[in-house]
Amino acid sequence: MKKVLNYINGEWCEGSSGKYIPVTNPANGQVLAEVTQSTNEDVDRAVTAAKSAQKEWSLVPAPERAEVLYKVANLLKERKEEIAQILTSEMGKVIDEGRGEVQEAIDMAYYMAGEGRRLFGDTIPSELRNKFAMSIRVPVGVVGIITPWNFPIAIASWKSLPALVSGNAVVWKPATETPMVAQEFVKIYEEAGLPKGLINLVNGSGSVVGSAMVEHPQINLISFTGSNEVGKAINGRAGELLKKTSLEMGGKNAVTVLEDADLDLAVEGILWGAFGTAGQRCTATSRVIVHNEIKVELEKKLISRIKELKMGDGLDETVKVGPVINSAALERIDEYVKIGQKEGAKLLTGGQIIKENGLEKGNYYAPTIFTDVTPEMRIAKEEIFGPVVSIITVNSLEEAVEVNNSVEFGLSSAIYTANVNNVFAAMRDLDTGIVYINAGTTGAEIHLPFGGTKGTGNGHRDSGVAALDVYTEWKAVYVDFSGKLQRAQIDNY
Ligand code: UN1
């Protein structure tokens, strides 16, 4: 059986619990490998290695640090197909999306390598004569990153690459479901020549490894993507310890379709956003807010097109909807569908676990659409993280915006309309970190900030230049070349 190991201080090693847990293919239940399980002790070793490596790394000029990132980018590009195959096998998303996700990491690697020659600060005029002022970025120190299974390489790239180019060292706990892709990514860092101790992979559960990272006094920042409950717990404890956090949590994203929209385009966007990745994106379309006048027509089009979505193993190039991650997820999704029915929503299509036609051994849920959903229903408010979408009817743009903004999350939103006035009003009023006009709720590009408002995050952003604000501290530097004491705010007034 293939073993997935930890990587600490440049060595591949077993976790000190001595235990392993299986890595399973969600498409067919096949055990692909087993992954080592770690304890506090492993976290401590990783942090110690990171701490000592970071000291030297912070002195390496950023353009030289970036040389490693260019190599990482090139290696990812060379191995794109191989990594995508592993990703699809252990996570389940269809292979085209697997390739897309690896591409996201490649893009991020080149982009952050470029930052090695920027990492801009500012020069700012001093209020005093013969005095120079500037702000510069300095690394935070040792960064703990905790990443989810739904984008196992893209999200790890959003976090590790800006951390490293800015001069930090990383301790990484990947999701227990997707350690194989994590191992491939770390192998690439190793091969690219990243000095030992700068990236450390510690496999294990959130309750053991994740908690040990949050508690560790020498981890200065925790960057987390995952569920709301875990994010809150991390933030609570990290707050007490005065530790920096960057949190990216749930979504309850909506596509609004106004009466003047191109309906066929909207249908494409909804199907892709709701059922791509089997609905397991933070950015997935979970609600459709439709103008009353076109509701029936939109529903008809959705039902007819949904039949074209072939379900199955994501490695089959003709499949459009893969499995969900595990049986617990399958049950949770089914539970939400039952809740929706009890709440009085009308099931238009789907609503069941699929256990036939060769899909018996995987975790398949039929693409599901509810209609006549009201904003107060639980299925309209809570994140389901599966292929389930709820249609809510409104009578105006204003009402649509109100419904869009009524949930506790604020990651992504989309609006289909041909009216330029509606477009600009929506851009202003939709309360989400990402807004799409005439495109669905997924598909963020790495050079823009990724993140959301309200329960989705804590004000920070992954990717884009904004990510650098997470992984660096600002240092203000004043150089007084007057040769005398100059008192700011006093001697100049
Ligand atoms: C996520 O689901 O957390 O915008 C990440 C998108 C992808 C990233 C999703 N580029 O859908």
Domains, the chain, in order of start with CATH, read 3-249+457-477 (3.40.605.10), 253-437 (3.40.309.10)
- pLDDT of 442: 98
For a pocket test of ligand 1, which of 96, 146, 282 has the largest count of ligand atoms closer than 8 A to its C-beta? 282
Distance CA(59)–CA(484), nearest Å, equals: 32
Q: Exposure string (b/e) for 20-31, b if CB count within 10 Å is 16 or more?
A: bbebbbbbbeee
Pocket of ligand 1 (CB under 6 A): 104, 150-151, 154, 281-283, 442-444
Residue 347 pairs with which residues in a beta bridge? 370
Question: Residues 169, 50: contact at Cβ < 8 Å?
Answer: yes
Structure tokens at 413: 């939103």
- pLDDT of 292: 98
Q: Is 486 exposed, middle or buried (0-12, 13-18, 19+ CB in 10 A)?
A: middle
Distance CA(414)–CA(271), nearest Å, equals: 13
Question: Which atom, in ligand 1's list, is nearest to the CA of 443?
Answer: 4
For a pocket test of ligand 1, which of 107, 108, 151 has the largest count of ligand atoms closer than 8 A to its C-beta? 151
Q: Exposure string (b/e) for 460-484, b if CB count within 10 Å is 16 or more?
A: bbbbbbebbbbbbeeeeeeebeeee
Cα pseudo-dihedral 176, 36, 100, 436, rounded to 10: 30
**SS3 assignment, position 11:** strand
Residue 380: how many CB atoms within 10 A of its CB?
A: 24
Distance CA(472)–CA(474), nearest Å, equals: 7
The Å distance, Cα 382 to ligand 1 centre, comes to 18
- Read off the pLDDT of residues 172-230 as tens digits, 9 standing for 90 and up: 999 999 999 999 999 999 999 999 999 999 999 999 999 999 999 999 999 999 999 99
Secondary element (H or E) of residue 427: helix 420-429
The Å distance, Cα 399 to ligand 1 centre, comes to 27
Distance CA(448)–CA(73), nearest Å, equals: 19
Question: Which atom, in ligand 1's list, is nearest to the CA of 412?
Answer: 4
The residues that are catalytic are: 248, 282
- pLDDT of 463: 94
Question: Which atom, in ligand 1's list, is nearest to the CA of 444?
Answer: 4
Question: Residues 433, 455: contact at Cβ < 8 Å?
Answer: no
> For each of the chain's 493 residues, which pLDDT tens digit applies?
999 999 999 999 999 999 999 999 999 999 999 999 999 999 999 999 999 999 999 999 999 999 999 999 999 999 999 999 999 999 999 999 999 999 999 999 999 999 999 999 999 999 999 999 999 999 999 999 999 999 999 999 999 999 999 999 999 999 999 999 999 999 999 999 999 999 999 999 999 999 999 999 999 999 999 999 999 999 999 999 999 999 999 999 999 999 999 999 999 999 999 999 999 999 999 999 999 999 999 999 999 999 999 999 999 999 999 999 999 999 999 999 999 999 999 999 999 999 999 999 999 999 999 999 999 999 999 999 999 999 999 999 999 999 999 999 999 999 999 999 999 999 999 999 999 999 999 999 999 999 999 999 999 999 999 999 999 999 999 999 999 999 999 999 9
Residue nearest to atom 11 of ligand 1 (CA): 442
- pLDDT of 404: 98
The Å distance, Cα 197 to ligand 1 centre, comes to 29
The Å distance, Cα 152 to ligand 1 centre, comes to 11
Distance CA(213)–CA(43), nearest Å, equals: 7
- Read off the pLDDT of residues 45-93 as tens digits, 9 standing for 90 and up: 999 999 999 999 999 999 999 999 999 999 999 999 999 999 999 999 9
> What is the pTM (predicted TM-score) of this model?
0.98
Distance CA(426)–CA(261), nearest Å, equals: 14
Distance CA(434)–CA(462), nearest Å, equals: 12
Question: Which atom, in ligand 1's list, is nearest to the CA of 282?
Answer: 2
Question: Residues 188, 108: contact at Cβ < 8 Å?
Answer: no
The Å distance, Cα 443 to ligand 1 centre, comes to 6
Cα pseudo-dihedral 148, 152, 153, 155, rounded to 10: -20
Question: Which atom, in ligand 1's list, is nearest to the CA of 100?
Answer: 10
Q: How far apart are the two ends of the chain, measured CA to CA in Å?
A: 75
Radius of gyration of the chain (CA): 24
The whole-angstrom distance between residue 153's C-alpha and the CA centroid of its chain comes to 10
- The sheet with strand 346-349 has its strands ordered as 346-349, 368-371, 388-394, 285-291, 253-257, 412-416, 434-437
- DSSP symbols for 346-374: EEEE--SEE--TT-TTS-EE--EEEES--
Residue nearest to atom 3 of ligand 1 (CA): 282
Question: Which atom, in ligand 1's list, is nearest to the CA of 434?
Answer: 4
For a pocket test of ligand 1, which of 283, 409, 456 has the largest count of ligand atoms closer than 8 A to its C-beta? 283
Question: Residues 156, 175: contact at Cβ < 8 Å?
Answer: no
For a pocket test of ligand 1, which of 434, 442, 447, 456 has the largest count of ligand atoms closer than 8 A to its C-beta? 442
- pLDDT of 196: 98
Q: C-alpha angle 122/125/129, rounded to 5°? A: 145
Label each residue of 82-137 as H, E or C: HHHHHHHHHHCCCHHHHHHHHHHHHHHHHHHHHHCCCCCCEEEECCCCCEEEEEEE
Residue 285 pairs with which residues in a beta bridge? 253
Distance CA(251)–CA(187), nearest Å, equals: 32
Mean pLDDT over the full length of the chain: 98
Q: Is 345 exposed, middle or buried (0-12, 13-18, 19+ CB in 10 A)?
A: buried
- pLDDT of 213: 98
The Å distance, Cα 282 to ligand 1 centre, comes to 6
The Å distance, Cα 74 to ligand 1 centre, comes to 22
